[in-house]
Structure 1
Amino acid sequence: MFQCLTRCIAQESKLFGWLTTLYHAWVHLTGNDVYIACKLAMAELILSGCTTTSDHLYIYPNDVTLDDSIRAAREIGIRFHPTRGAMSLGESKGGLPPDSCTEDEAACLADMRRCIEEFHDNSRYSMLRMALAPCAPFNVTTELMVKAARLARQYPGVRLHTHLAENQEDIDFSQKEYNCRPGAYIKSVEWEGPDVWFAHCCMLDDNEMQQFADNGIGVSHCPSSNLRLASGIAPVRKLLDASVNVGMGVDGSASSDSGHLLQEVRLAMLLQRASGSAEAMGAHEALKMATEGGARNLGRDDIGQIAPGFAADIVAWRLDTIGFSGAGQDPISALLYCTPSIGFVDLSIINGHIVVKNGRLQTVDLQDLIKEHRACSERLCKYLPDWWKTGSRP
């Protein structure tokens, strides 16, 4: 979520070039920057139909703590699964990020335990559950991956998350540094289990997809980011057909440049149909992936459906608007096929509390938040190198 402060940067770069450009700004993040960014990102998600989200905060410079994002979630009223991320493998050790963006591994693990013990609530209808999330194979050590997995499994309901098989650069790094593909890598670091979900997974092969299915591993599909960074198109149809659980994500708001969840679901549906089959994915299946699939990725059996015994999380759109006109035969599908897919919700109820009413957020002054957010963004972006417009690092 912190990435929404640095949108539209390195527009012609792939993943690694994009990251090495943005690290220059991100190393100057403060706790207040993260708090403001998270609150704005959460507002955008809520207005686009999201009631429950996770966030991968993996950089902790200056006074940044996970507490900053948790405070934002509690104030705005979203159901939240924060992840205590980490980067420990800097350039001097063969990793991608500069050393200034990394942390000592012992300190990471100590803070992971603190966050679990201070914030994790595994009760039914919980508004906050924790996950641990070493960032990616190219910026953490195998030792940290193993220790994080063992730590998470000491606490009921704490899950594991990271990026995996995002693009060919990602695959090439794993083969060079670890002499294996992603499937063998996650097995070697003890991340092969039903308490794990990975972002992206554009480059999984058939054997790895079956490995995911056999071990109950979930995937968070982030189509806009994958297209923006030229990473590829995740094989969602094949994953679902192999019985792999798939949910939806908006990824970081500096690679998708948006946090509009419903728009991502629409794009996911259309991308699977790009293969030439109009039956590859329909609106109802895509929406089920975003609701029930997302809940399963988070290990939840109390959200994702409007049904007896489930949390009171409900969103609604007015049907008497221009985007729905003429689509009255199937208003549910119209959410994705028609222009309401780029509109905002008219009503959002989260855990029984009205958070959006008549299209307006009730828990935050959006204009004041945008003003604060723009000020934080302008300060951070001053640290970007002169070559950011192309992302071609000299």
Structure 2
Amino acid sequence: MAGLTSTPSAPLLIEGCAIATVDASGREFERGHILVDGGRIAAVGAGSADGIDQTRPVRRIDATGCLATPGLVNTHHHLYQWVTRGLAQQSDLFGWLTELYPIWARIREEEVSAAVGAGLGWLALSGCTTTTDHHYVFPAGAGDLFAAEVAEAARVGLRFHPVRGSMDLGRSAGGLPPDHLVEDTDVALAATADAIDRFSDPAPGAMVRVAVGPCSPFSASERLMREAAALARDRGVRLHTHLAETVDEEKYCRATYGCTPTEYAERLGWLGDDVWLAHGVHLDSDAIGRIADTGTGLAHCPSSNARLGAGVAPVRELLDAGVPVGLGVDGAASQEAGQLVAELRQALLMARLRGGPTAMAAREALVLATRGGARCLGRDNDMGSLEEGKLADIALWRVDGLGHADIADPVAALVFGAPAPVELLLVGGRPVVERGRLTTVDERDLLHRARRAAARLRA
């Protein structure tokens, strides 16, 4: 495959590959084509492309041996944690947070920039074209951390949905974080409004959309949760927070608020079709019903939940109830692999561990990672499936190598097999990965910056 960066404005024709469109009807082509023009998909179908305008130059890619899918959508992450991986290896969530809070309190703009760059580069190499990031740690005097994130996303070239997180409930007020790591409530709300005004783009095809996200029931006050929700709805942006991740959180909410985490969220206005929650591990049938009835989405983070021993989310039950479910890598310090494609297999295995071998199929796992994630982010009109008119956010996976070639079904090869190499990753038609290498940034630079940042934090 010749390099593509020299003529980015010419139409691009990918041909000869298997295609999983992940559209509502589940169309697939054993050998097909995708035409990209003007950053969007102009055509997708079986066999060779007919009727292409011959008066314009077309870049052609022979994708024989590959599977084309929509670019993967990561619905939950904490990118700053990239430079604190490998710590608190045998802790549950509360113990893990307690050990890492003092380290995160020393983070500055330089460390955030390095961590975000490395994390985004690695996500791209795992087939991710759109990612969220829930950043809620803002130490005093640390610099413009949110702006640093947005700048790194532009540099790497991924579509970015950063969540301006916040914590105002310190230990002395009954919360979990140390007091010196939380913000004043008014300061947090003002900074959140500023992040929306500076960076969020409501236009179709936007590369950056900001969401509002007080961190959790045990780190954000009722006032912050209520007023943040009102702010988000006034500005027309989405809401995101952690909910029902652990048994400890359930106990905390019952002891502190006299109700379950889901009931608490509903009381504060945090259920709705403009909300997506992270984790949802400990949800009973009543909670699932409340979430489904309100159109609330959920980011499923199977590897992180397993790493922290939090449990297995009831994904089958959520899907059967009609809840929009996407996949999330979660913070790099609780999911050190950091690969979104690996979460397809993990989600399938966890669902079957909970509900048996029919609890999730390979194609359902792919839907979670694409169209399901797009629904959670409110972007299913322009991403999440390979259809004419949608954004050309496309992952081309090589499935003809030693790790996959003997699996006749290419979707099964992608989901059941080892993480497949990314032959090509397009974001809005722009190549971000070619033949397993980043085209937009120097991987060695990402590596060296991240190593220096980690060393400074741990010194």
Normalised to the residue count of structure 2, the TM-score between the two structures is 0.81
Task: Give a deviation string over 1:267-287, Cα, whole Å, max 9, x none.
Answer: 000111114622111111110
Aligned equivalent of 2:269: 190
Distance across 2 between alignment mates of 1:125 and 1:377:
35
Task: Give a deviation string over 1:52-106, Cα, whole Å, max 9, x none.
Answer: 0000000011224211100000111000000100011011111101011111111
Distance across 1 between alignment mates of 2:262 and 2:355:
29
Q: State whether residues 33 and 376 of structure 1, in contact with CA within 8 Å, keep that contact through their aligned partners in structure 2.
A: yes
**1:3 aligned counterpart, secondary structure:** helix
Q: How many residues align?
A: 378
Whether 2:125 is the aligned partner of 1:47: answer: yes
Distance across 1 between alignment mates of 2:232 and 2:414:
37
**One of 77, 87, 100 as aligned partner of 1:22:** 100
Aligned equivalent of 2:397: 317
- Are residues 349 and 187 of structure 1, via their aligned partners in 2, closer, same or farther at CA, if it must alter by over 3 Å? same
| Offset at residue 372 of structure 1 (A) | 1.1
Aligned equivalent of 2:427: 350
Whether 2:159 is the aligned partner of 1:82: answer: no
Aligned equivalent of 1:391: none
Residue identity in the other structure for 1:274: L
**1:56 aligned counterpart, secondary structure:** strand
| Offset at residue 319 of structure 1 (A) | 3.0
Alignment map for 1:209-358 (pairs within 5 Å): 209-275=288-354, 277-300=356-379, 301-327=381-407, 329-339=408-418, 341=419, 343-358=420-435
Gaps of 5+ in 2: 1-78
Alignment map for 1:369-380 (pairs within 5 Å): 369-380=446-457
Q: State whether residues 29 and 64 of structure 1, in contact with CA within 8 Å, keep that contact through their aligned partners in structure 2.
A: no
Distance across 2 between alignment mates of 1:33 and 1:219:
29
Distance across 2 between alignment mates of 1:272 and 1:319:
24
Aligned equivalent of 1:122: 202
Q: State whether residues 34 and 64 of structure 1, in contact with CA within 8 Å, keep that contact through their aligned partners in structure 2.
A: no
**1:326 aligned counterpart, secondary structure:** coil
Aligned equivalent of 2:180: 100
Q: State whether residues 398 and 421 of structure 2, in contact with CA within 8 Å, keep that contact through their aligned partners in structure 1.
A: no
Distance across 2 between alignment mates of 1:222 and 1:299:
19
Structure with higher strand content: 2
Whether 2:444 is the aligned partner of 1:364: answer: no
Aligned equivalent of 1:385: none
Distance across 2 between alignment mates of 1:278 and 1:293:
21
- Are residues 17 and 226 of structure 1, via their aligned partners in 2, closer, same or farther at CA, if it must alter by over 3 Å? same
Distance across 1 between alignment mates of 2:84 and 2:167:
19
Distance across 1 between alignment mates of 2:337 and 2:227:
33
Q: State whether residues 283 and 336 of structure 1, in contact with CA within 8 Å, keep that contact through their aligned partners in structure 2.
A: yes
Residue identity in the other structure for 1:36: A
Residue identity in the other structure for 1:230: G
Alignment map for 1:2-13 (pairs within 5 Å): 2-13=80-91
Distance across 2 between alignment mates of 1:80 and 1:275:
32
Aligned equivalent of 1:161: 240
Distance across 2 between alignment mates of 1:324 and 1:258:
20
- Are residues 117 and 64 of structure 1, via their aligned partners in 2, closer, same or farther at CA, if it must alter by over 3 Å? closer
Percentage of pairs with the same residue: 46
| Offset at residue 320 of structure 1 (A) | 2.8
Normalised to the residue count of structure 1, the TM-score between the two structures is 0.94
Distance across 2 between alignment mates of 1:131 and 1:79:
14
Task: Give a deviation string over 1:124-154, Cα, whole Å, max 9, x none.
Answer: 1111111000000000101000000000001
**2:235 aligned counterpart, secondary structure:** coil
Distance across 1 between alignment mates of 2:396 and 2:145:
34
Alignment map for 1:171-186 (pairs within 5 Å): 171-186=250-265
| Offset at residue 321 of structure 1 (A) | 1.2
**1:107 aligned counterpart, secondary structure:** helix
Residue identity in the other structure for 1:335: L
Task: Give a deviation string over 1:180-200, Cα, whole Å, max 9, x none.
Answer: 101210111111210000100
Deviates more, 1:137-146 or 1:275-284: 275-284
Distance across 2 between alignment mates of 1:58 and 1:258:
22
Aligned equivalent of 1:388: none
**One of 138, 143, 167 as aligned partner of 1:60:** 138
Task: Give a deviation string over 1:208-257, Cα, whole Å, max 9, x none.
Answer: 10001100001100011101111000010111111111100000000111
Structure 1 stretches of at least 4 aligned residues deviating more than 2 Å after TM superposition: none
Task: Give a deviation string over 1:26-56, Cα, whole Å, max 9, x none.
Answer: 0000011111101111111111011000000
Deviates more, 1:373-382 or 1:22-31: 373-382
Distance across 2 between alignment mates of 1:130 and 1:378:
30
Q: State whether residues 108 and 145 of structure 2, in contact with CA within 8 Å, keep that contact through their aligned partners in structure 1.
A: no
Distance across 2 between alignment mates of 1:178 and 1:150:
21
Distance across 2 between alignment mates of 1:10 and 1:344:
30
**2:403 aligned counterpart, secondary structure:** coil
Task: Give a deviation string over 1:331-389, Cα, whole Å, max 9, x none.
Answer: 122101122x2x4312100011011111110011101210110111011123xxxxxxx
> C-alpha root-mean-square deviation of aligned residues, in Å?
1.0
Residue identity in the other structure for 1:262: V
